[in-house]
Each structure stands twice: as structure tokens, then as C-alpha cells.
Amino acid sequence: MSITKKDVLHVADLARLALTEKEIDLYTGQLQRILSYVEKLSELDTSGVAPTTTTVPPETAFREDRVTPSLAQEDALRNAPLSEKGCFKVPKIIE
Amino acid sequence: MKYEAVIGLEVHAQLLTDSKLFCGCSTRFGSEPNTQVCQICLGMPGVLPVLNKKAVEFAVKMSLAVNCRINPRSIFARKNYFYPDLPKGYQVSQYTEPLSEHGHLEIDIDGGRKRIGITRIHMEEDAGKLLHGEGIEDSNFSFVDLNRTGVPLIEIVSEPDMRTSDEAVAYLKALRDILVYLRICDGNMEEGSFRCDANVSVRLMGAEKLGTKAELKNMNSFKYVKEAIDYEIQRQIDLVENGEKVVQETRLFDASKGITASMRSKEEAHDYRYFPEPDLLPLNVGAKLVDQARETLPELPEAKRARFITDYAIPPYDAGVLTATRELADYYEEVVKATGEPKVSSNWVMGELLRLLKEDGKDVGDCALKPSAIADLIGMIKKGAISGKMAKEVFEEMYKTGKPPAGIVKARGITQISDESELAGVIDRVLEANPESVDRYRSGKVQLFGFFVGETMKATKGQANPQAVNKILKEKLAG
């Protein structure tokens, strides 16, 4: 699998990252090397093996449906760059 | 018809748990903004979600109710996108391995039945709310309330089995009735606890290949769902007729104009890069949980309706109205049990009671009037103790005060006199007081019958049972 400049721009866009020309070239090369390295794994035939998403024993950890205290509103908003009227204030979303 | 529409629906139903899907914050609606949030639902670093067991039980119940096969193992996935209503930058959902699949339900349409396939049901967390406009002066900002973030949802995805907006609405109503019967969702479309997106495409009648679909959003009532789908079908037919192409896109319904309009989302908006949620273990539902859910399934609306028609011999219309909610159906059945008169009971519950409840905007659960009191009233009418007309007045007072009918009838002095010996005495006195009229009647002036009835009513202050009066008068006047 080869990584193109277009792939890097696509991923950067999804991650809301603005990259310089220099960075685009740098990451294209780096990502290419990383993927080639991981590609080694596909040399192994895993057609009969279920994907491993966890190595923890397959017991689902549940919690009971009980309400526990939430944060105070001022604490919830404490890290927000902007807040007003109990709400997080963000740049206007235009649809 | 040259064209046919193909419609599939995605329904999001908010589950009626007390706490959120992955944390203990309350799910209560309408609280002050950002007072039901914690480190977990705000997406702070280093926190771990833990799955709410009741949410899983609810989702399993719904799966069973619409004949889905439960996957013994399902996994949660991260659906990645940036939007301010989603503080983590991803929504925890299920993707490749959902909770359940391959279900169906049946709808009544055009006097027949139609089976609608259900592709899958999966669990996910709700997002927060963005507030714009009203009362918000600063037009360069949006305001975010994250109380709803992390509230449990199930998404129910149908097969593209519907062909008209009427079928879509019938399917939605059936689905909502089931959710409400199961008491796992309040079904409120306006408040958004029952939401629907519609995938709509058109094709030439008889064609196999599906046309390009548009996804419709923002329809918060059954009426709007119908309007949006009808508009969209016509819009697509017009495009095809003009040799233009339908574009695959999301379109928002504008209720004030009755149209759908493109959201003009970015081309790449749908690259969600799903991957398994590393913070949550696979969900192993287990036979015990499924068995318990199955045992606690109530009788569902469809089955109840059918049983009412067969067991009580009431018209399908009555059965439909009376089974609209479990509470109403239970109420009606209590009245029937006490009276043994299904149709008469239906008339009172469906006619009078529902009329009064509707005027007050109340549900049967809020009403002071007990089923046993309605049964008493029906019994009194049957015995002739009060007339049907009086009974309606008594009923209104019973409804207002919650008092049993006997006391009201006594206090108002409106008992109907049906006792024949008592009435015979009164009638004897009426006839004795009017010997001349009696003679004229007997010599052929039969129109005077009404005069005697009137006199009898006057003498009893209108409380005489008219049927009984007629009968006794006829006998006595015959001589």
C-alpha cells in the first residue's frame, strides 16, 4: 500500500489539521515507512483467525442503572475557552 | 404509475434508563444546561466508560419484540467526526457487529398486511444539543449543552421495503407503539426521544436496480415524515423525467415550506473511520439475559388488538383505540371484567372517558376515576336506576371528583324511578285527577297519551323511567 500526498491531505482535513507543503512531504514519507513496516504482518495467513480486539477474558463488565452525582456546572465549564449562560460557547456552526 | 418509490427508515429511540449509557449522569430531560455531565461524558482524558446493564436489557427486549436474532457477541465502535455536540470527537456506536439483526414487523396497509424487514438494531450514545437563535444575541457563536451527551439510544434500521409514505408512517407508528408498550422509550417525537431519518429513492416500476437515494432528516412528527417523503418522491421523479440525475446527499425537511433542501455537506463528511472502541470489551449478551428479557415481554399491541376483537367481539376500530396504550387497555379490561359488557364498556371508555381526558390533555393514568366506578354506573343504567342521559351528567361529575356514581345520584336526587308498584301509585293519582281526559282517551282521542306521560313526569320531578311509565299507562288506560 502506498501513501500519496492526497491521502495525507484527506486525513489532515478530517483531523482539522492545516499542514505546510514541507510537513505534507515529511508526513507522506513517514506514514509510508510506518505502513510498509506494519505491512509485514500480512505475510502471515490469518484467513481462519478471528480478529483480536481485546485479550481480556470475554466477560462483559456492566454497571447497574443508578444515577451518581454529576459535576457542578461551573466545574464542567471550567476548562472551556468560552462559556455563557451555562453553555459552552463555540464558533458558530453553519449548516 | 410509471415510477415506484423505495423507502428505508432509520429510527433512533432514546431508552428510558435513569442514567447514561456509559456513566452515572442523569438522563432527565429539561434540566439546566451542563448540569448532567461528568468527566466521562465530557470526554476528559484518562476516563473509562462502563456499560449500563439496563440499556442492554431494553435493547434486547426491542430486538425480541421485532423478531431480531440477537448476536451473542457484539462490539462497540468509534464513529469519528468533529462536531461541537460531541466532546470526545467520536460517538460510541456499533458498526460491523451490531446487537441484533434480521428482524421484521407487520403493518396494516390498505386493508391488508405487509411485512417490513428490520436489518439491524444497534446501541449507541446520543450527542449533545446545539442552541442557536432564540434569546441568543451573539450571532457569531453557537451554544452547547451536553446534558444529552451519552444518553442511551438504539438505532433501528429497516430494509428498503416501503413503497409509499403511508407505509412508512404505518411502520413508524407500529415501531413506536411497541417501544412504548415495552416501556423502554417514551416515543415523544417533538422532544426527540423518537427520531426518524428516511432514505428515499425512485425507480421505474418493475425495475430491479435501486435508484440513487437521498437521506431525509429533521422530521419531528408523523405528519412531517409523510410530507417530506411525498415531496421528495415527486422531486426525484421530476428530476428523472427531465433527464437529470438524483444526487446522493442529506436533505433537511423544512416544515414551514413543506420542502426538502440539500444540506450541502462537505464531500468528505461521511468518512467516519470506524474502528473497535478499545475502552469497551465486546458485549456478550448471554442466554440468561436474553431469557429474562423474553420472559418479561408484555403482550404487544398487535396481539392485544387481535385478542380484543376475538374475545370481546368489539369492532376493530374500538380495539385499535382501546389498545393505543397499555394503560388504557388495562383500564378497559378492568371495566369489562366487572360488567361483562364489552361493547357498552367500550362506549363509555372510548366515548366519554377519552373525550374528557382529551379536553384536559391528560392520560388515563392521571385520571381520578376508577374502572370500578364506571362499572357501577353501567350496572345502574342496566337496572334502570338512572337513564342514559342522566348517566352522562353523572359520569362527568365522577370524572371530575373521582367519586362513585351512587353518591352523586343520591346527592343530586336524580335517581330514576323504575319500581313498577311505585310508578303505578303515581299514575293512579294522575288518572284520578284527570277523569275527563281519561274518558276522552278511552273514546278514541289517543293523542292524549302524551299528556298523561307529561303529568306523570311532572309528578315525579322527571325521575320516572319513561319506558316503565309508557308500559303502565298503556295497561291502565286500556281499562
Domains with residue ranges and CATH for chain B:
3-292 (no CATH), 299-412 (no CATH), 420-477 (1.10.10.410)
Gap between the Cα atoms of B449 and B455, Å rounded: 10
Report CB contact under 8 Å: B130, A93: yes
- In the predicted model, is pLDDT for residue B415 greater than 80? no
**pLDDT class of B367 with cuts at 50, 70, 90:** confident
Quick one: average pLDDT of B295-320? 91
**pLDDT class of B198 with cuts at 50, 70, 90:** very high
Of B110-114, B296-300, B456-460, which one has max mean pLDDT?
A: B296-300
Instruction: Work out how many domains chain A is built from and give that number.
Output: 1
Task: Note the pLDDT tens digit of each residue in B130-143.
Answer: 887 655 555 788 89
- C-alpha distance from A78 to closest chain B C-alpha (Å): 11
Task: Note the pLDDT tens digit of each residue in A20-70.
Answer: 999 999 999 999 999 999 988 888 888 888 877 777 776 788 999 999 999
**pLDDT class of B111 with cuts at 50, 70, 90:** confident
Look at residue B137 in the predicted model and tell me its pLDDT. 58
Burial class (CB in 10 A: 0-12, 13-18, 19+), B329: buried
Look at residue B474 in the predicted model and tell me its pLDDT. 84
Q: Record the cell numbers describing residue A11, joined without a space.
A: 486525513
Quick one: average pLDDT of B43-51? 93
Q: Which 48-87 residues of chain B touch chain A by CB within 8 A? A: 50-56, 73, 75, 80, 82-84
Look at residue B267 in the predicted model and tell me its pLDDT. 47
Predicted complex: ipTM over 0.90: no
- C-alpha distance from B52 to closest chain A C-alpha (Å): 5
Percent of chain B past pLDDT 70, that is, above it, reads 96
Report CB contact under 8 Å: A82, B132: no
Look at residue A87 in the predicted model and tell me its pLDDT. 93
Cβ atoms within 10 Å of B115's Cβ, excluding its own:
11
Residues of chain B contacting residue A61, judged by C-beta atoms under 8 Å apart: 50-51, 281
Gap between the Cα atoms of B340 and B274, Å rounded: 59
- C-alpha distance from B203 to closest chain A C-alpha (Å): 30
Report CB contact under 8 Å: A65, B18: yes
- C-alpha distance from B279 to closest chain A C-alpha (Å): 10
Phi-psi group of B257: left, alpha or beta (phi > 0 → left; psi -120 to 50 → alpha; rest → beta):
alpha
Q: Which 449-478 residues of chain B touch chain A by CB within 8 A? A: none
> Does A65 map to a domain?
no
- C-alpha distance from B152 to closest chain A C-alpha (Å): 11
Quick one: average pLDDT of B66-71? 96
Gap between the Cα atoms of B214 and B176, Å rounded: 24
Chosen for mutation from A66, A75, A92 (greatest number of chain B CBs closer than 10 Å) is: A92
Q: What are the angstrom distances between the C-alpha of B87 and each of B14, B43, B44, B77, B273?
A: 19, 6, 9, 16, 17
> Does A55 map to a domain?
no
Task: Note the pLDDT tens digit of each residue in B228-273.
Answer: 999 999 999 999 988 888 888 889 998 888 889 888 654 445 688 8
Cβ atoms within 10 Å of B409's Cβ, excluding its own:
21
**pLDDT class of B122 with cuts at 50, 70, 90:** very high
Look at residue B59 in the predicted model and tell me its pLDDT. 97
> Does A59 map to a domain?
no
Gap between the Cα atoms of A27 and A8, Å rounded: 7
> If you average pLDDT over every residue of chain B, what do you get?
88
CB pairs under 8 A between A and B: 133
Quick one: average pLDDT of B21-40? 95
Look at residue B269 in the predicted model and tell me its pLDDT. 55
Residues of chain A contacting residue B32, judged by C-beta atoms under 8 Å apart: 73, 86
Report CB contact under 8 Å: B32, A86: yes
Task: Note the pLDDT tens digit of each residue in A58-75.
Answer: 678 899 999 999 999 999
CATH code: domain of residue A18: 1.10.20
Task: Note the pLDDT tens digit of each residue in B176-189.
Answer: 999 999 999 999 99
Chosen for mutation from B34, B36, B76 (greatest number of chain A CBs closer than 10 Å) is: B34
Percent of chain B past pLDDT 90, that is, above it, reads 48
- C-alpha distance from A30 to closest chain B C-alpha (Å): 21
Report CB contact under 8 Å: A58, B268: no
Selection from A24, A75, A59, A38 nearest residue B286 by Cα: A59
Quick one: average pLDDT of B322-340? 88
- B39: contact with A, CB 8 A cutoff: yes
Quick one: average pLDDT of B391-420? 76
- In the predicted model, is pLDDT for residue B347 greater than 50? yes
Contact B10, B153 (CB under 8 A): no
Look at residue B134 in the predicted model and tell me its pLDDT. 55
- C-alpha distance from A8 to closest chain B C-alpha (Å): 14
Report CB contact under 8 Å: B143, A87: yes
> Does A63 map to a domain?
no
Chosen for mutation from B141, B260, B279, B280 (greatest number of chain A CBs closer than 10 Å) is: B141
Quick one: average pLDDT of B193-212? 92
Quick one: average pLDDT of B79-108? 92
> Does A29 map to a domain?
yes
Pick the residue from chain B with its C-alpha nearest to A51. B276
- In the predicted model, is pLDDT for residue B339 greater than 60? yes
Cβ atoms within 10 Å of B119's Cβ, excluding its own:
18
Residue B157 bridge partners (DSSP): B10, B120
Report CB contact under 8 Å: A54, B281: yes
Quick one: average pLDDT of B34-44? 95
- B131: contact with A, CB 8 A cutoff: yes
Whole domain around residue A34: which residue ranges? 5-43
> Does A77 map to a domain?
no
Of A34-38, B51-55, B330-334, B466-470, which one has max mean pLDDT?
A: B51-55
Cβ contacts of B133 within 8 Å, gap of 6 or more: none
Q: Which residues of A touch B (CB under 8 A)?
A: 10, 13-14, 16, 53-54, 56, 58-73, 76-77, 82, 84-93, 95
> Does A85 map to a domain?
no
Look at residue B479 in the predicted model and tell me its pLDDT. 66
Label the pairing between strands A62-63 and B51-52: parallel
Gap between the Cα atoms of B230 and B165, Å rounded: 6
Gap between the Cα atoms of B357 and B323, Å rounded: 16
> Does A14 map to a domain?
yes
